[in-house]
Amino acid sequence: MNKKKIWNGNVRDAALSILLEIHENQAYSNLLLNRTIKKYNIDSKDRGLLTELTYGTLQHRITLDYYLEPFVRGKLDHWVRELLRLSIYQIVYLTKIPPHAVVHEAVEIAKRRGHKRIAPTVNGILRSVLREGVRPIEEITDEVERMSIETSHPTWLIRRWIEQYGRDEALAMAHENNHPARMTARVNTLKGNVPDAIAALAREGVEVKKGEIIPESIQSPSGSLANTEAYTNGLLSIQDESSMLPVLALDVRPDMKVLDMCAAPGGKTTFIAEKMGDRGEIYAHDLHDHKLTLIESNAKRLGIQSIHTKSGDSRKLDEVYEPESFDRILVDAPCSGLGVIRRKPEIKYNKTEKDIHALTTIQEELLETAYRLVKRGGVVVYSTCTVDYDENEGMVQKFLAKHDDVSLLPLETFKEIEAVKVNNHLLQVLPQHFGGDGFFVAAFEKK
Ligand SMILES: C[S@@+](CC[C@H](N)C(=O)[O-])C[C@H]1O[C@@H](n2cnc3c(N)ncnc32)[C@H](O)[C@@H]1O
């Protein structure tokens, strides 16, 4: 297939290019889609369809392959398979697009992209799909396999979630992952409050409402807030409400000394600074030097001065700081990301159980360093954007077993949030709970 630019004015062609880029270069779907929309200034009508086609095809990949399978003879090039998935997605899930128009478009794309025998193959397969219909999923007798194909999650993940959460929660979570994620933002309380932000956005013609659970949050039903003046002027940060929870658990006050061990791009670091009234010392570390500029530019846009950034492996931070020198430490650990599949559906296809195991080693080492650096009477918050036992509750149990001078804090701040269910002092949010990302939070005190 020829390499070409992503946007040539044809939405289906662009969706196909993005899907191929995600597959070939392990690109992140959300970043690539946003970058494409911005770069080519794609108008709102095309933007909606492009997002729907790209996410829909990616989210339902396993289901679409199950539908496609009986119609395929021999081997298909990857791009042809992706074009067929994209087309079957429209035929099965998008009732407003006439099926014959879908077939016609797919054949035109095949003619433009491939050699001359491809277009008749695409035409033949899609016409058979229209004539015969797709096979029912209910006829799959094995329950795990049926859930896997119905929700388009790999069987190992379905099996793991059934073990950890039971069948009903596992199925609800897998279904929820195929819905669009909500667009939420945090209001920068150094510059204004929620009514100020709602009014400022209304003046720009953008309707938003108060968030679901976090007092500082707003929700935008009509999509992105990143291109608004309110955002450029530092009144907002784009952040999911679940992602704000670890900072509430940290319970910071002005003039504290705070360490954020895994800080980039700075969503939580800047919230910490806002909560402290930008008074105190916040040290923001990340492994990757190039990611520090994200924290710095966010802090600048928000008018925050109390954040100091530094790169390096945070597992070795006791070579940099004195033991027991921080009031608060946040370990927002690198994780499998299984709580944010709605935003990055490729995660469910790319992650493996081996990856989870490797991550738990890093998470454990980060927590150990935090233990050494936090003052007695100080607090360490451990959080992840995943829903896996080994990375979450399992990690907490291991940590507690090693240190008898550490205890779990009851997460008092969450008591007032009705939708948030703290269980044994641990918070595990699943995406189906209140519409936020899957997240885990635990807070420890070193006595
Ligand atoms: C979940 S993200 C942090 C998100 C961030 N706290 C926020 O709210 O914007 C995890 C971060 O940990 C960083 N990281 C991974 N391994 C690390 C290590 N050994 N030391 C420091 N940072 C690390 C990654 O580069 C990534 O930016």
* Helical pair 78-93 and 44-59, crossing angle rounded to 10 deg: 110
> What is the ipTM metric for this complex?
1.00
Q: Do 119 and 96 share a structural domain?
A: yes
Dist. CA 391 → ligand 1 center (Å): 15
What residue has token string 């804090």? 409
- Determine whether the annotation assigns residue 99 to a binding site: no
Is 182 part of a structural domain of the chain? Answer: no
Summarize pLDDT for 29-83 with one digit per residue, the tens: 888 998 888 888 888 889 999 999 999 999 999 999 999 999 999 899 999 999 9
Query: Would strands 257-260 and 281-286 be described as parallel, antiparallel, or unpaired?
Result: parallel
Whether the CB-CB separation of 77 and 103 falls below 8 Å is answered with no
Distance CA 370, CA 259 (A): 9
Is 370 part of a structural domain of the chain? Answer: yes
Q: Do 267 and 150 share a structural domain?
A: no
Q: Could you tell me which residues are beta bridge partners of residue 426?
A: 423
- Determine whether the annotation assigns residue 286 to a binding site: yes
Tally of domains within the chain:
3
* Range(s) of the domain holding residue 296: 241-446
Is 111 part of a structural domain of the chain? Answer: yes
| N-to-C CA span, the chain | 62
Is 192 part of a structural domain of the chain? Answer: no
Q: Of these residues, 32, 91, 107, 385, which one is catalytic? A: 385
The question of whether 335 is a catalytic residue gets the answer no
> Which of 31, 258, 262 to mutate for ligand 1's pocket (most ligand atoms within 8 Å of CB)?
262
Dist. CA 300 → ligand 1 center (Å): 20
Check pLDDT > 90 for residue 274: yes
> Residue 366 in 3-state DSSP?
helix
Q: Do 150 and 61 share a structural domain?
A: no
Q: What is the per-residue pLDDT for 236?
A: 98
Q: Do 260 and 375 share a structural domain?
A: yes
Question: What are the tokens at 329?
Answer: 């430490």
Question: What are the tokens at 372?
Answer: 């050494």
Check pLDDT > 70 for residue 225: yes
Q: Do 104 and 142 share a structural domain?
A: no
Q: Do 341 and 258 share a structural domain?
A: yes
pLDDT band at 121 (very low <50, low <70, confident <90, very high): very high
Neighbours of 90 (CB within 10 A): 25
Q: Do 273 and 154 share a structural domain?
A: no
Residue ending a domain, among 76, 111, 135, is 135
Report the percent of the chain where pLDDT is more than 90: 88
Q: Which residues contact 102 (CB under 8 A, 6 or more apart)?
A: 87, 90, 91, 126
Dist. CA 415 → ligand 1 center (Å): 28
Whether the CB-CB separation of 106 and 84 falls below 8 Å is answered with yes
Can you list the alpha helix ranges (DSSP code H) found in 276-334? 289-302
| 407 vs 30 pLDDT, higher one | 407
Q: Shortest CA distance to 287 belongs to which of 305, 257, 265? A: 265
Section 384-389 average pLDDT: 98
Q: Do 50 and 15 share a structural domain?
A: yes
Check pLDDT > 60 for residue 1: no
Summarize pLDDT for 303-352 with one digit per residue, the tens: 999 999 999 999 999 999 999 999 999 999 999 999 999 999 999 999 99
Is 216 part of a structural domain of the chain? Answer: no
Is 123 part of a structural domain of the chain? Answer: yes
Question: What are the tokens at 229?
Answer: 């003046």
Q: What is the per-residue pLDDT for 9?
A: 81
Q: What is the per-residue pLDDT for 4?
A: 60
Is 231 part of a structural domain of the chain? Answer: no
Residue 91, domain CATH: 1.10.940.10
Is 56 part of a structural domain of the chain? Answer: yes
> Residue 228 in 3-state DSSP?
coil
Does any ligand 1 atom lie closer than 6 A to the CB of residue 262? yes
Whether the CB-CB separation of 437 and 182 falls below 8 Å is answered with no
Residue ending a domain, among 135, 166, 186, is 135
Q: Do 71 and 168 share a structural domain?
A: no
- Determine whether the annotation assigns residue 266 to a binding site: yes
Does any ligand 1 atom lie closer than 6 A to the CB of residue 314? yes
Section 82-111 average pLDDT: 96
Q: What is the per-residue pLDDT for 443?
A: 98
Question: What are the tokens at 13?
Answer: 């062609």
Q: Do 130 and 266 share a structural domain?
A: no
Check pLDDT > 60 for residue 114: yes
